Every structure is written in structure tokens, then in C-alpha cells.
Amino acid sequence: MLLLLLKNAPRLVRVACVATLLASFAPEVSAQRATGPDRPADFMDPAFHRQRRELLRQKLPARSVAVLFAAPVRNRANDVDFQYHQNPDLFYLTGYDEPDAVLLLFKEPQTVGGQSGVTEALYVQPRDSKAEQWTGRRLGTEGTKQQLKLQYVADNKEFAAAKLPWSSFEQVLFLDQPQDARDDAANPGDVYSLIQTFRQGANFPADYNPSRNEAYALIRKYVGTPAAANLTPYLTNLTQEQPQLASDRYLQAYLKATTDDARKQAVSALPTSRFDGSALSALLDEMREVKTSEEMKHLRRAIQISAVGQQEVMKAMKPNMTEMEVQGLHEFVYKKYGAEFEGYPSIVGAGNNACVLHYTVNDKPRLGNELTLMDCGAEYHGYTADVTRTIPANGKFTTEQRQIYELVLAAQQAGFEQCKPGNAFAAPGEAAQKVIADGLLKLGIIKDAKETRRYFPHGTSHYLGLDVHDRGTYGPLRAGNVITVEPGIYIPADSPCDKKWWNIGVRIEDDVLITDKGWENLSKDAPRTVADIEALMAKPSALDKFELPVLK
């Protein structure tokens, strides 16, 4: 095999040899990405993405263009890349899941590549039989047109010569451009080159600062509202974190203003620019926070798979298992049901490891009789679940474990009851916080409610969808929102409380759909109560007799 033969050659030699082979002449072929029995048949219909594009385009300001780039290919180590994952916004609008692409949405129809009346243009990587032999089949321009039904599709190398009328757009809207895109000198259509072409063609300002742009946008949005004064602490922190903003005279003028009139005067002096890196993000926040019926099919599937994973692990778990073994069982269930990825690195923490919020090492060699926190979620066709259960590895809660667990469960129930349309996004968290504060006081773990944050240091909710922490406005809850409700208590060793509570970490997390009248727990199939968990853990598992040979 070529890569094995080249393995010991110097890196530059290997890269040069492979690049030469991949760049060999290969005629454009007509075959398209495999469908039918070779690929799942339940991907989103192109009509969904087309409707999303058109809805976004209608929201664009007059005489504007929106620009969205594909995610870059990201390197894991040396010449090995991570499995590709598309920019969720580009996927949401197109269904395209390959690298080296850029999408343009025009408010008013344009002439592009000699075609008039174009409102959407997608530049994609071309077919290449040599490259496809190594890294998989591509849609190419024709496949993209036929399968994804975009109005105008062209080879990504044509973007540089497209002569788009950048100067005619009064506003150029874009998202943060990836900073880790690598420049492949052999590929003039890679995302690095696409970004450079955009910057040069649109005369993008060299000193553009996304944080400054965001700060200016927030000031304009909130001046004259009750929230204007609350913006000051955020801007103060921003200028402290970024020295280049500390000297920005417009931000300083706003921060020194103490009255509404003074703030309005400061805003009137803010410089304007036709380049806007925040408006497009705000529009996508508004769109993506409310899930359509098509999205809910995939999201329900991802959540159902994750709940079954929790069920099966509850039946299979034994004290002599490792954290990594438990992780593998969850992820095996995901793959069994066709979930392509985990939505985020699986968290499996036993004992004190459960007190680390984003613990992902998962290398404890034996669970023992400790509580094991499992925060795991399947990603199905781009949509991810986020479900957490905490269970005793030996199948029985101790008295202290039960007391902490049931306190968290009561807090979660209080959070559920606040999941209603019109309630503040923070309402579930505030309700859960109060229950936990009261409970910790009664148990003697804290002496003052202000100490609650020591043991419950996070909020309870975030949006869920194409991202595990999905886009959203974080305004009042609306029907169609899917959010998490995930209170927790974490008491690491050496905490200032009775030692009997040490090494107990509990989080219970469910995925909740806000409905017209209230809420629906989408992950209810994963047992939540002490009685239900202990009953399920007492049942036999299909894996009880699965034993591998001992390695020597």
C-alpha cells in the first residue's frame, strides 16, 4: 500500500508524492454519490434546505449578500485528519456535507457565470476519480445540482474568476471565518483559498475585528432600552480581555457614558461599515432555535437512540467495568441504530471523576461501587441528543447517594414545570437552583444559600439541534424550542462538608420540546427515578456472556 511504503520517508517527500498522484489528470466522471442501498434513505429532503435558504434570504437587508463557508478539514495528528464534519449552518441551508465550498445568498437576483436571475450560488469541490479512490466519492457540480437542487452550482476553482459584483452590495453579511483552515498549495479551491478570494474581491478590511463588530452591534441594538446599562459589564470585560479594544475610542466613550442621552450620543458616533459579522448569525439564531417537523424526526431519532443506550448500559454495568468500556457500550448502541457520530465527546465519570463537568478522559480502570455519571448523546444525520444519567455501578444507591440523587431529581422536576411558552429561558434554571439550595441547606452541606454555586456551578439549559449547544436567541421560550434541563450536584473530595458526601457527583439531563401548552420530555425512555434505575439494573443484559480473551 502506498501510504505504508512512504511511511518512513521524510514528511515533505511523502506529501509531495501523494500530492503528485492526487493531482494526476482525471476526467470528470458522471457517477454520483451512492444512494439507495449504499446510503441511508432518510436524509432531509432538498425541499427542506431550499425552504430554509429562501426564508433566510427574505430576512436579508436590501442590496445585500450573505456568505457562508464550509468547515475546514481538521488535522488530528501528522497526516491523519479527523472525520469531516460540516459547518452546521451550511448544512442547514444546503444539505451539503463536503469540504471546500462557499454559499452565497443574494437579496436581489444577480447574474452569475452568465446565468441571470440567480439568488443562490454554491461553489463545491469537483469530481476527481484519483482523490475519490483515497477519500471517498464526491457529489461534484452535477451531483450537487441534481441531488441538492440548488439554483446555481459551480466548481470551487471558478469562484476566483467569477467576477461577482462585490462593490454593488451595500451590506456583506458573513459568519466568523474559520481561523484554522490550512492552505493546500496543490488545491486552488480549498476553503483557505475561497476565504482569500472573498477577502480580496470584496475588499475586506484588513483590520476587521469580529469582537469589535459584535460590540458595536450590541451597542446599536440595546441603546435606549432598559438593557443598555447591563451591557456595560460585558463591554468592560471584553476590553480587558482584548487589549486592542481597550484603546477603541468609541467603546471607551460608551463605557464612560452614564445617562441614556450620553449613550445615544456615543452610538451616533460609531463608524459604519458595509461588512457585518453579526447580523447573519442573529438571523440564524432566530431560525434554528425553532425546529421544524422535518428536523424533529431526526432529533427524536437521535434522542431515542441515546435513551436506549442508557437503558442497555444500566443492564450491562458491573463494578469491574472500566469507564472506557461503558463509553464503548453507549457508542456501540449508537452505531447499531445508524447514528454516524457522537454529538460531543462522551463523558463517563465514576466517583470523583463525576465531579469534573466536562470529564472526557474516561480511563478509570474500575468503577467499583461508586456512582457513575454518563453524559452521552448520539448524532443522527447531523442532529444530536444530550442525555445524562447517573447510576450506582453495583446497582444499588447508598443512603447518601440516594439523598443527593433525589435532590437533583426534584430540582429537575421543578425545572420541567417552568418549561412553558413565554417563560424566560432562565426560568427552569432558577427553579432548579432554588430546590438545590434548599436541599443542600437541609442536608447540612452548605450553611448559606450563596454557597450553592460551589456544588451546582452551571445553568440547566441550552438549545439542542445541529449543535449540542445549538443556536438560539435565549429569549422567552417558544413552541418548537428543544432545550436541555440538566441540574447537578458535584461534591469532590476535600469539599468543606462532611466526608460522607465526598466523591458524589450527580447530573440528570433530559431533552425537552417546548409545545404550545407546555413541554414534552423526549428522553423519558431513559429511567430517571431511583426505583426504576435499580429495577432495570437488576435485569439481565444481552452482553452478560460477552467475554473476550485475556491479553497477555
Instruction: List pLDDT tens digits, range 69-121.
Output: 999 999 999 999 999 999 999 999 999 999 999 999 999 999 999 999 999 99
Angle, nearest 10°, between helix axes 260-268 and 210-222? Answer: 130
Nearest to 344, CA basis, from 326, 356, 330: 330
- Other C-beta atoms closer than 10 Å to the C-beta of 334 total 25
Give residue-wise pLDDT tens across range 298-344. Answer: 999 999 999 999 999 999 999 999 999 999 999 999 999 999 999 99
Q: How far is CA 488 from CA 144, 195, 211, 303, 399, in A?
A: 45, 42, 32, 20, 18
Note whether 412 and 487 are within 8 A (CB). yes
Domains and CATH numbers, the chain: 46-202 (3.40.350.10), 210-272 (no CATH), 290-538 (3.90.230.10)
- CA distance linking residue 60 with residue 55, whole number of Å: 9
Query: In whole angstroms, what is the distance from residue 27 CA to residue 29 CA?
Result: 6
What is the bridge-based pairing of β-strands 171-174 and 64-69?
Answer: parallel
Res 213: pLDDT? 87
The pLDDT of residue 184 is: 92
Helix (H) or strand (E) holding 144: helix 140-148
Whole-number pLDDT of residue 161: 94
Q: Which residues contact 53 (CB under 8 A, 6 or more apart)?
A: 93, 94, 105, 120
Residues paired with residue 4 on neighbouring β-strands, in sequence order: none
Phi, psi for 122 (deg, rounded to 5)? -125, 125
pLDDT tens, per residue, the chain with 552 residues: 433 333 333 333 333 343 333 333 333 333 334 445 677 889 999 999 999 999 999 999 999 999 999 999 999 999 999 999 999 999 999 999 999 999 999 999 999 999 999 999 999 999 999 999 998 999 999 999 999 999 999 999 999 999 999 999 999 999 988 889 999 999 999 999 999 999 999 999 988 888 888 888 888 888 888 777 778 888 888 888 888 888 888 888 888 888 888 888 888 888 888 999 999 999 999 999 999 999 999 999 999 999 999 999 999 999 999 999 999 999 999 999 999 999 999 999 999 999 999 999 999 999 999 999 999 999 999 999 999 999 999 999 999 999 999 999 999 999 999 999 999 999 999 999 999 999 999 999 999 999 999 999 999 999 999 999 999 999 999 999 999 999 999 999 999 999 999 999 999 999 999 999 999 999 999 999 999 999 999 999 988 988 899 999
- Where do we find the cell 431533552? 511
What is residue 122's three-state secondary structure? strand
- Please give the Cα distance from 90 to 101 (Å, whole number): 9
Quick one: pLDDT at residue 36? Answer: 52
372-418 pLDDT, tens per residue? 999 999 999 999 999 999 999 999 999 999 999 999 999 999 999 99
pLDDT in the model for residue 255:
87
- For 231-298, give the DSSP string: HHHHHHHHHHH-HHHHT-HHHHHHHH--SHHHHHHHHHTPPP-SEESSHHHHHHHHHHTS--HHHHHH
State the pLDDT at residue 268: 86
Cell triple for 454:
460551589
CA 535, CA 314: separation in Å to the nearest integer?
Answer: 10
**Alpha carbons 326 and 363: distance in angstroms, whole number:** 10
